[in-house]
Amino acid sequence: MSIGTLLTPLRVGAIQLPNRIVMAPLTRMRAGANNVPTALNAEYYAQRSSAGLIISEGTAVSAQAQGYPSSPGIYTAEQIVGWRGVTSAVHARGGRIVMQIQHNGRNSHSSLLPNGSLPVAPSPIPPNLPGFTKDFQQVPIEVPRALETEEIPVIVGTFRQAGLNAIEAGFDGVEVQGANSHLIEEFLEDGTNHRTDAYGGSKENRVRILLDIVDEIMAAIGPDRVGVRLSPFGQYGGIRDSNPLELFTFVIQELDTRRISYLHLVEAKGSEMGLTDELHEDGVNNAALFREVFNGPLLSAAAYTPQTAALAIEQNHADAIAFGRLFIANPDLVRRIKESQPLNAYDRSTFYGGGEHGYTDYKTLEEPSLTASI
């Protein structure tokens, strides 16, 4: 295994990555008023611009799609302007950034939604997680409202518009959030989807919303700028399917046919949301399992070290590896990997909410001193 494997270039759709060290999408709950990104957010992303690719935090495609306090959106003119500050700062530092666009579905709370309305989902089945109010209070979760059939094409349209808005805001592409038990995965899996209309029942029906979204966005912004994140065998929020292997093989075959620019799989061996440091070594290796099914670039995430990441690429399980918690704590992760320098430890207590502390104040390596070599 050679760490140098991570430092080789890779083409991902329209984007040329100088290395295979990707920054995973990370919700940090530090957006400004009206869910608008700020200069602080721009600084945070710019600090990490040496990543082969930055995937933004999950960003709501509509007011109804919000799920966490102080999380950004991409559905107002003000938000587009705020995000332009982020993308310009990343590009000015030579980086590349795509936006993860998402609808939180049942993982939300009425205090975050227009007119205090209930979170929505395919079926009225609550997750097994507490909700976060807009004031960061943890509260018992609400039973979501099942979407009416005619509301679903409207949601598809909000994803399409979010894709267009992301490009207008200067992003290099988008990643559709189909993972981690948010709305799309709630449709995919039969534990959360008990519908009897064209969006429930057979796997073909359950995958319809995802494929409609992908088709619409690809038509709107071009086929080579759309990636998809999935978390087969994941259990976050109590999500489950009676036959995940059959379901995800089908989903991934369909995405392969469409030639999306990349597939991003969350590994079941780690904690999908990085909530614990536990490892389930006996968990399914999604990248290895689905590699045969998908012919485009494959990104894999969750619980990787630089060493296991390089190994996964050398074993041809994946083309690039996304790091979450290591990028929170190491803005210059690429340089540290390249120079085999020690990594900063992350502080879990500052993951969500707050300001600069635990966000933009993790230390980078000192530049080599000019006097040191004299």
Ligand X SMILES: Cc1cc2nc3c(=O)[nH]c(=O)nc-3n(C[C@H](O)[C@H](O)[C@H](O)COP(=O)(O)O)c2cc1C
Instruction: Return residues touching ligand X (CB under 6 A).
Output: 24-27, 57-58, 100, 177, 179-180, 229, 266, 270, 272-274, 301-304, 323-326, 351
CB nearer to ligand X: pick between 35 and 100: 100
* In the complex, least distance from residue 266 CB atom to ligand X, rounded to whole angstroms: 5
CB nearer to ligand X: pick between 122 and 270: 270
CB nearer to ligand X: pick between 105 and 274: 274
Spatial CB neighbours of 105, under 8 Å, sequence gap ≥ 6? 67, 119, 120, 121, 122, 144, 181, 182, 183, 184, 186
d(CA 284, CA 292): 15
* In the complex, least distance from residue 132 CB atom to ligand X, rounded to whole angstroms: 13
CB nearer to ligand X: pick between 24 and 146: 24
CB nearer to ligand X: pick between 82 and 200: 82
* In the complex, least distance from residue 287 CB atom to ligand X, rounded to whole angstroms: 13
d(CA 3, CA 318): 15
Q: Which residues pair with 176 in a beta bridge?
A: 101, 228
Q: What is the dihedral of CA 277, 349, 56, 256, to 10 degrees?
A: 20
d(CA 310, CA 94): 24
* In the complex, least distance from residue 68 CB atom to ligand X, rounded to whole angstroms: 8
| Spatial contact of 226 and 163, defined as CB atoms under 8 Å apart | yes
* In the complex, least distance from residue 66 CB atom to ligand X, rounded to whole angstroms: 12
d(CA 193, CA 111): 24
Side chain identity at 236, as an amino acid letter?
Y
